[in-house]
Structure 1
Amino acid sequence: MRHYFALFIFGILLAVSSCRTDFDTVASSGNLKFSRDTVYLDTVFKNIGSSTYQLKVYNESKEDISIPVIQLKKGLSSKYRMTVDGMSGNNGKIFNNVTLLAKDSLYIFIETTADITDANPADFLYTDEIEFDSGANLQKVALVTLIQDAVFLYPKQNPDGTKEKIQIDGKETDGFYLDENDAVNGNELLFTNDKPYVIYGFAGVPENKTVTFEAGSRVFFHANSGLFVDKNASLQINGEVSATEKSENEVIFEGDRLEPQYSDIPGQWNSIILSEGSANHSINHLTLKNATIGLSVNNQIATTVQIKNTQIYNCSQYGILAQNSRINGENLVINYSGLAGLSCVYGGDYSFTHSTFYNNWPNSEHFAVHISNKLAGATPEAKDLTQATFNNCIIYGSGTNEFNLDKSTNAQFVYQLNNCLLKFSSSGSNPDYQFKDDAVHYNQIILNENPKFLNASQNKFNIDNTSAAFAKGNQTYAIPTDILGITRTSPPDLGAYQSQDFPK
């Protein structure tokens, strides 16, 4: 019994000696270490909250310490806010007597929401510092954020508290119509390069109106948002060739998350929708990325949708989804789509020249190009495909077969590929894929030879003279300049890019 009692007393003493009280700590001596000396919070739009950024603070000494204060230099007026090891402190600005154990660390999470007026007018940077302790023991970590001014377009709130809505393909969705006489923004049907635009919900182009995007305009779409062009309305995208890699004259559509980790994530916003009955669309020098469906074209058979010098990347479903429509594409590049880069269904009339269709989505069911004259559930189920022509194109990707035909005999199905490089590894006896023997549908087809793109995973589809696409085009179909405005040689290269020497 005495033995058990002794063990019991020993256990209590051990537990008590293990408990920490405020008397276990010593004052900080100003020797904290940090995971970084400056925290750069990536670019944010005015009055839009940033992502959360992390700073780690280390106590490398053998003693538990107490940091008298951790605070933002601008105090309670700072536009930054923090949590320190899960604590919110005084409005996320000031934290007193923070304990940090020996050989341990703590996490500080930092966010900001600032207006353009808070930033330095010379460089639009908003800055502050996190101060640790004071006096001789003062240590600092700088905070830096670039604030972008922008034009915000969004559904108005109704008197009953609901949001403004519009009809898209018979369905009601959060949205609004662009107003050419808006009291705040002026002409919302003209997108200039003065400021970027941020769109919430669907921005609709009203009937009988034209929306115009000037060279260099930038549009950022919030989650589930997009652009909807109503019947008898038109879309005009007037980008131009850029002189530098900054794409200063390109029109760019993308999601509104500006952090680098979101730069290539598909499905961040919805789509550009050209509705049935809309007409006279022209798209030139557009870069569109990270949508669900980049461009949705619905029953545009009366007039031709012109798409030139355009890049569409990282769409979770389709780069272009066209239904019974008429499209002419030149110097078009599409890459990384969950279902198909280009999908033309339910018939129509399509012509693509000097275009590069690539798909490296990690799924064996994807295609770079999908052509069909059918539509499940429609009446009739099939419509005439009067033309699907590809001239001097590259159709390639990471899958086995990147070109897919889905044909109904109940409607016309006319297609032809001339001087194209194609990824297709298992044609067998299927009469639709006899690339060498079917002169009606295929002329001068290069099968399964590597185009040797500069870097397809980074959407760089330039080629050099070692590419299988080099000088394999037919001059009859040549577009004089490539997507970068470079003059094509004779015979031309296949795809959207004229070959150049890569830097070694």
Structure 2
Amino acid sequence: MRLNIGLAFLILFLASACRKGERITTDPNAKLNIPNKEVLFDTIFTSVGSITKRIKIANKNNDAVKVSEIRLSGGSTSAFSININGEQTPNKNDLIINGKDSINLFIKVSINPNSTNLPFLVQDSIILNTNGNKQVIQLLAYGQNAVFVNESTINANTIWTKALPYIINGSLTVKSGSSLSIQPGTKVYFHKDANLNIEGNLMVNGSLTEPVLFCSDRLEKIYSDEPGQWKGIFLKRSGYGLIKNAIIKNASVGITSDSLSVNNSPKLILSNSIIKNMQVAAYIGYHSELLAFNNVMYNCGNYLIYAVGGGNYNLKQNTFAAYNSNFPRKTAALSFSDYLSANAYNKLQVDLTNNIIWGSLTNELDIQKKTSAIVQFNLWSNLLRSTNSAYSNNGNILNTDPLFINQDLEDFKVSPSSIVRKKGADLSTDQYFINYLNQDAKGIARIHPSTLGSYEK
């Protein structure tokens, strides 16, 4: 008998304990805990949805509460949409949250196009009513109209301006005999895995104050430095490029070029540009040609420049900073070779003058001769991180820190006490001096002997 009575009390106790958090309180002081009273979405392109943001709504009371209403103010016509604990709905009534329990709200926004060129604000709110308490979560998003280019080709000479950003989805190909000219301040965004193929001519005409931007269409902060979001720019066999004052970031490879020029025009001239946050490399050349002046390249997965199968590479006054906070890199930042495969090897010509080639590895420059092809390299007045003593002549400086201002903040100008100041070879007679090398990447006049790298000061 005593055993039965004890067992009964135990069952009653456990039942009471189980019900404690389920008993619904009507106390007006029993409010919900909402950590975010405002949810802000970064710039969202019209017709392109946002990421999903989550808010955890907690009941920190011992007893359960009945949320009489959770409602998206704009209802079904709102640009925002909400998911309440797994249910996609603009409103829900009489939702019970047990004591010490919580629910999840998931929020997205999709914005319809309108007639304005400037970013515009889209607003709404989520209202929660519990025991007579009204709590509000403000929702804000910046919308931006854009020109959408979906799996397309350019078959005539075309000019892009900064009036609206361009969103590329899939592949955009500039066909042979056609050109794409991009004016200062233009923004070109790429959807996931999109790419730009050049079979004709690409002319990027950014300015010091209004560079041309190539990057992913995800503008949320968490994606700002994420590599591999789009594929990159590809110069095909018949393609040519002139890229000046551009920022190219967050692709798999910034620029890929697969051949030499078939006429007297350089395959690619790249100047006064920044290429960063690439999953594989800033530039890859397959028996190709690159003229690069006043550029800054950094934070790429395996290489800054990877040039194989021979080719012609003329690099002057660039800063190559091979720091890889997100990549366990084991390869030299600049790697050149005459060899691509057993059937693909060619003459390699490498000319490096007044560059900074520095990074976290002991060897950041690798010039390889693997076949019977001719390999010629001229290195003049560079700062190099290398254990190859053959690079130590012709005014080159080996293994001395250039003293960047702040590599963590991506400031690759050098300090006043840097060894690279006034160490540059005189380039005033260089054929590219007037158009590209007489000023640094910030437009400051170069006075010889110049500072090595992209920045004079």
Q: Give TM-score scaled by structure 1 length.
A: 0.83
Q: Render the CA deviation track for 1:462-487: whole Å, top value 9, x for unaligned.
A: 22312222222122367221111122
Q: Render the CA deviation track for 1:13-45: whole Å, top value 9, x for unaligned.
A: 234323449971123626333212211012111
Paired with 1:28 and 1:300, the residues of 2 have a C-alpha distance of 78
Structure 1 residue 204: Cα displacement? 0.5
Q: Structure 1 179/27 Cα, relative in aligned 2: closer, same or farther at 3 Å?
A: farther
1:190 maps to 2:159: yes
Q: Render the CA deviation track for 1:110-130: whole Å, top value 9, x for unaligned.
A: 11112134x999861110011
Equivalent position to 1:336, from 290, 299, 302: 299
1:101 maps to 2:98: yes
Paired with 1:411 and 1:296, the residues of 2 have a C-alpha distance of 23
Structure 1 residue 364: Cα displacement? 4.2
Q: Render the CA deviation track for 1:332-375: whole Å, top value 9, x for unaligned.
A: 11112222101121111111110011212242412221111110
1:223 maps to 2:192: yes
Structure 1 residue 448: Cα displacement? 1.5
1:45 maps to 2:45: yes
Counterpart residue identity of residue 339, structure 1: N
Paired with 1:11 and 1:399, the residues of 2 have a C-alpha distance of 68
Counterpart residue identity of residue 149, structure 1: N
SS in 2 for 1:415: strand
Structure 1 residue 68: Cα displacement? 0.7
Q: How does 1:155-166 map to 2 (within 5 A)?
A: 155=151
Residue 239 of structure 2 aligns with which residue? 278
Residue 339 of structure 2 aligns with which residue? 374
Equivalent position to 1:296, from 256, 265, 281: 256
Residue 415 of structure 1 aligns with which residue? 377
Paired with 1:122 and 1:34, the residues of 2 have a C-alpha distance of 33
Residue 345 of structure 1 aligns with which residue? 308
Contact 1:337 1:366 in 2 (8 A): no
1:239 maps to 2:200: no
Counterpart residue identity of residue 4, structure 2: F
Q: Render the CA deviation track for 1:103-156: whole Å, top value 9, x for unaligned.
A: 444332211112134x9998611100111118962221110000111111113x
Residue 4 of structure 2 aligns with which residue? 5
Residue 65 of structure 1 aligns with which residue? 65
Contact 2:22 2:99 in 1 (8 A): no
Unaligned runs of 5+ in 1: 156-175, 181-186, 243-248, 428-432, 437-441, 500-504
1:460 maps to 2:441: no
SS in 1 for 2:9: helix
1:112 maps to 2:70: no
Counterpart residue identity of residue 232, structure 2: S
SS in 2 for 1:486: coil
Which contiguous aligned blocks of 4+ residues in structure 1 show a shift greater than 4 angstroms? 119-123
1:257 maps to 2:218: yes
Residue 485 of structure 1 aligns with which residue? 443
Counterpart residue identity of residue 395, structure 2: Q
Residue 74 of structure 2 aligns with which residue? 74
1:316 maps to 2:279: yes
Q: Structure 1 406/11 Cα, relative in aligned 2: closer, same or farther at 3 Å?
A: farther
Counterpart residue identity of residue 443, structure 1: N
Q: Give TM-score scaled by structure 2 length.
A: 0.91
Bigger mean CA offset, 458-467 vs 138-147 = 458-467
Residue 14 of structure 1 aligns with which residue? 13
Residue 423 of structure 2 aligns with which residue? 472
Q: Structure 1 24/150 Cα, relative in aligned 2: closer, same or farther at 3 Å?
A: same
Q: Structure 1 200/152 Cα, relative in aligned 2: closer, same or farther at 3 Å?
A: same
Paired with 1:405 and 1:123, the residues of 2 have a C-alpha distance of 48
Contact 1:371 1:406 in 2 (8 A): yes
Paired with 2:367 and 2:117, the residues of 1 have a C-alpha distance of 56
Residue 363 of structure 1 aligns with which residue? 328
Contact 1:271 1:293 in 2 (8 A): yes
Equivalent position to 1:211, from 155, 180, 194: 180
Counterpart residue identity of residue 98, structure 1: L
Q: How does 1:143-154 map to 2 (within 5 A)?
A: 143-154=139-150
Structure 1 residue 250: Cα displacement? 0.5
Counterpart residue identity of residue 143, structure 2: I
Q: Report the identity percentage.
A: 28
Residue 55 of structure 1 aligns with which residue? 55
Counterpart residue identity of residue 238, structure 1: N
Q: Structure 1 392/127 Cα, relative in aligned 2: closer, same or farther at 3 Å?
A: same
Paired with 2:117 and 2:8, the residues of 1 have a C-alpha distance of 69
SS in 2 for 1:201: strand
- Number of positions where the alignment pairs a residue of Structure 1 with one of Structure 2: 444
CA RMSD of aligned residues (A): 2.4
Paired with 2:252 and 2:407, the residues of 1 have a C-alpha distance of 20
Counterpart residue identity of residue 144, structure 1: L
Counterpart residue identity of residue 153, structure 1: V
Contact 1:27 1:67 in 2 (8 A): no
Q: Structure 1 123/208 Cα, relative in aligned 2: closer, same or farther at 3 Å?
A: closer
Contact 1:319 1:342 in 2 (8 A): yes
Counterpart residue identity of residue 66, structure 1: K
Unaligned runs of 5+ in 2: none
Paired with 2:46 and 2:162, the residues of 1 have a C-alpha distance of 17
